[in-house]
Amino acid sequence: MKNKFLFSVFVYFFILIFLSLGAWQIVRLNWKLNLITEIEENINSQPVFFSGNNPHNFKKIEFKANFENSKLIYLYSLNEKGEPGFDIINTISIENSYYLFNRGWIPRDLKNKSFGISSTNFQGILKKKSNKNYFKPKNDILNNYWFTLNDNDLFEYTGRKFSNFIIYETNGRLNFPNPKKITANISNNHLKYSLTWFSLAISIFLIYLYFRKKNY
């Protein structure tokens, strides 16, 4: 009798754990949905003037900047069709802050061609730089062939330290470079995780009822 009681306690303990994990994922799901909604509203809102201070992720901005065209960066990238090419990245200063300005994608055969900047007024979206991908090749700084925006390599190449936020140009154009489309592309698997935990809890409970009916 004692063993049966302990077994029941053991089973109900794990059912409670799985139900709690499922409920926690529901809370995370609501938080993620609100975050995605907030990001989409920021992206589709009117730009606000940005002076270089207090950047916010996915904030749509307009700004004036000084460009350093001698330190152009070619970051290997695929376009929306999966074609290989480069993101053209300018190093810029906004007042006393330094940023990387992603102007968009070009095909590989246009590397090292001149893409002049005729304006000092720009619009863009701030986006926090993603973590380094250790499976990508090392940057070839000598030949200006980049795979990651590694802080140490950037300092070696430019002699400057940049913000952790990259500005992605949103000014549309018919020719290259073609600005990248920024979306609220955030992983949201919390519903799937919650259903998994709830399913485990229900499965264990049904198995427990079966064995209890059979053996009690």
Q: DSSP characters for 149-165?
A: --HHHHHHHHS----SE
Flag whether pLDDT at 174 surpasses 60: no
The strand order across the sheet containing 66-78 reads 48-49, 60-64, 121-128, 165-169, 97-107, 84-94, 66-78
Helix boundaries (H) for the chain:
2-44, 151-158, 190-215
Backbone phi, then psi, for 39, in 5-degree steps?
-65, -45
What is the distance between the alpha carbons of residues 141 and 168, in angstroms, rounded to a whole number?
Answer: 22
Residue 24: per-residue pLDDT = 95
pTM: 0.74
Reference 161, options 98, 93, 91; nearest CA is 98
pLDDT in tens, 28-57: 999 988 888 888 888 888 888 998 888 888
Instruction: Please tell me which of 29-38, 150-159, 173-182 the model is most confident about, judged by mean pLDDT.
Output: 150-159
- Please answer whether residues 42 and 58 qualify as being in contact, where contact means their C-beta atoms are separated by less than 8 angstroms: yes
